[in-house]
Amino acid sequence: MTSNKKRGSGLKILALIAMLALAAGIFVLNRINYYKNFDEAFDPSDGSVVSFTVERGSGYNTIGRDLEAAGLIKDAKTFAYKTRLLGLGPKYQAGDFLLSPSMTMGEIMEELQDAKKETVRFTIPEGMCITEVAEKLASEGVISSAGEFYEALDSFDASGYWFMDGVKSEYPDPSGSVSAKANRFEGFLFPETYDVYADASASDVIKRMLDQFGKEFGTELQDKLKASGKDIKEIVTMASLIERETRDDSERPLIASVIVNRLKAGMPLQIDATQQYILGDPKALLSTEDTLIASPYNSYTNKGLPPGPIASPGIASIKAALEPADSDYLFYVLKSYGGDSHNFSASYEEFLKNKADYQKTIK
């Protein structure tokens, strides 16, 4: 009897030990998976790059909290734990770093140990075309020459960018500087302020700008794109026209409505921005000869949208192209030379009056 009791107690103890071992194993496995998951990139699909500063004297706990607040890592506590585990605390350096949500925590930790790289900043305003972008980058010393930028565009592999799928420009830019292959990037080099390493190549710069376009054209806008029934090239082309036609955000949806209404009516768009793109140098008032230039981008002699975008639109113009205002307008003209506001009209007679008023302001 006593022997059976002892055996029973022993079995209970063994069962308890087995349960504790199983629980411990599950706990360890969960912790391993926990830290493994948090070593993954915050957002593998977001290739955009941000400038991150580590102030002198910052400890790894502070750095971790700042990284989490910047949307670069998932968890500051995991960052601190891994830093202690690997003994990296003393190795982190003060300085400026270019980091991305697509980097793993391990890659970020490695980058923070090298602050010797010099960075440069450049700004691409909304409404610039590829040739203007190239010339600006070259003049500011970001790249060696505009030609280097064109060559990099011509050979750039854009297969990883969803918005470039199927985008093939049939025409080079009117200046002849950019090949048809390179010109497919017109409109997709997102206008923004960027920080890059001083030794960045032209391809690095192109990648940064395309990554930013992908970030800006997120899930919400992609849903609107699907709802519009248009493809990405049509929307960006329309947005580029809007961008070059007005600097007033409140007018962008109205400009978009005019484009939509004229397309539906089978009317040539007759948008001066396309002629300015062909000419290269802007003119206050186009001549009749300017509207007759033989070019696929001529919106006076050709119906429909031009072959592709004529500039890099900002997010406000892209949103306007996706959601035009509901209007019956078919015409618009600046209220005064050098101004930002337009007069819109549904009739040609009213347009002629508005145009005459505008011409009076040209001195």
Residue 148 inside a domain? The answer is: yes
Instruction: Provide the mean pLDDT of the chain.
Output: 89
Report how far residue 349's alpha carbon sits from residue 147's, in angstroms, rounded to the nearest whole number: 47
Residue 18 in any domain: the answer is: no
Predicted confidence (pLDDT) per residue in 192-234, tens digit: 999 898 889 999 999 999 999 999 999 999 999 999 999 999 9
As a 3-state breakdown, the chain gives helix, strand, coil percent values, each rounded to 5, of 50, 10, 40
Task: Mark whether 351 and 245 lie in a shared domain.
Answer: yes
- Identify whether 298 is part of a domain: yes
Q: How far apart (Å, rounded) are the C-alpha atoms in residues 212 and 206?
A: 10
- The domain boundary, picked from 182, 216, 250, lies at 216
- Do 175 and 75 belong to one domain? no
Same domain, 249 and 321: yes
pLDDT(173) > 90: no
- Overall average pLDDT of the 101-111 stretch: 92
Flag whether 32 is in a domain: no
pLDDT of the residue at 217: 95
SS3 51: strand
Question: What's the pLDDT band for 171 if we cut at 50, 70, 90?
Answer: confident
Residue 317 within any structural domain of the chain: yes
Last residue of a domain, one of 111, 138, 160: 111
User: In terms of residue numbers, what domain contains 313?
Assistant: 231-359
| Residue 15: predicted pLDDT | 64
Q: What is the pTM of this model?
A: 0.79
The answer to which of 24-28, 159-163, 242-246, 339-343 has the lowest mean pLDDT is: 24-28
Instruction: Report the alpha-carbon distance of residue 47 to residue 214 in Å, rounded.
Output: 8
Report in angstroms the alpha-carbon separations of 75 from 4, 143, 159. 53, 37, 32
Do 138 and 182 lie in a common domain? yes
* Planar angle of CA 35, 39, 44, nearest 5 degrees: 140
CA torsion sign for 123, 129, 133, 135 is negative
User: What are the CB-based long-range contacts (under 8 Å, 24+) for 115-118?
Assistant: 115/54, 117/197, 117/198, 117/199, 118/197, 118/198
Q: Can you give the pLDDT at residue 4?
A: 55
Q: Which residues pair with 51 in a beta bridge?
A: 98
In a domain, 8, yes or no: no
Task: Return the beta strands (E) in 202-308 as ranges.
Answer: none
Same domain for 300 and 240: yes
Shared domain for 96 and 134, answered yes or no, is no
Residues 134, 106, single domain; the answer is: no
Secondary structure class of 4 (helix, strand, coil): helix
Which has more pLDDT, 15 or 281?
Answer: 281
Residue 205 CB partners (closer than 8 Å, separation 6+): 137, 142, 143, 149, 152, 194, 196
pLDDT in tens, 109-145: 999 998 877 888 999 999 999 999 999 999 999 999 9
pLDDT for residue 5: 54
d(CA 256, CA 74): 40
Between 339 and 150, the higher pLDDT residue? 150
Q: How far apart are CA 259 and CA 272, in angstroms?
A: 12
Based on the fold, state whether residues 144 and 102 are members of the same structural domain. Answer: no
CA atoms within 13 A of residue 38's CA, in its CB half-sphere: 17
Domain match, 71 and 134 both: no
| Segment 7-66, tens digit of pLDDT | 556 566 666 676 766 666 555 555 555 555 557 888 888 888 888 999 888 999 999 999
The structural domain count of the chain equals 3
Tell me, yes or no, whether 78 lies in a domain.
Answer: yes
Domain shared by 84 and 125, yes or no: no
Least confident of 199-213, 231-245, 280-294, 314-328: 280-294
Residues 123 and 99 in one domain: no
Out of 161, 181, 216, pick the residue that ends a domain: 216
User: pLDDT tens digit string along 57-94?
Assistant: 899 999 999 999 999 999 999 999 999 988 998 999 98
Q: Evaluate if residue 309 carries a pLDDT over 60.
A: yes
Q: Does 235 score more than 80 pLDDT?
A: yes
Q: Is 270 left (phi over 0), alpha (psi -120 to 50) or beta?
A: left
Banded model confidence at residue 287, pLDDT cuts 50, 70, 90: confident
Does residue 141 lie within any of the structural domains? yes
% of the chain surpassing 90 pLDDT: 66
Residue 90 and residue 187 in one domain: no
In angstroms, the CA 195 to CA 198 distance is 9
CATH code, domain with 74: 3.30.1490.480
- Are 345 and 332 spatial neighbours (Cβ–Cβ below 8 Å)? yes
Read off the pLDDT band of 1 (50, 70, 90): very low
Percentage, residues of the chain above pLDDT 70: 90
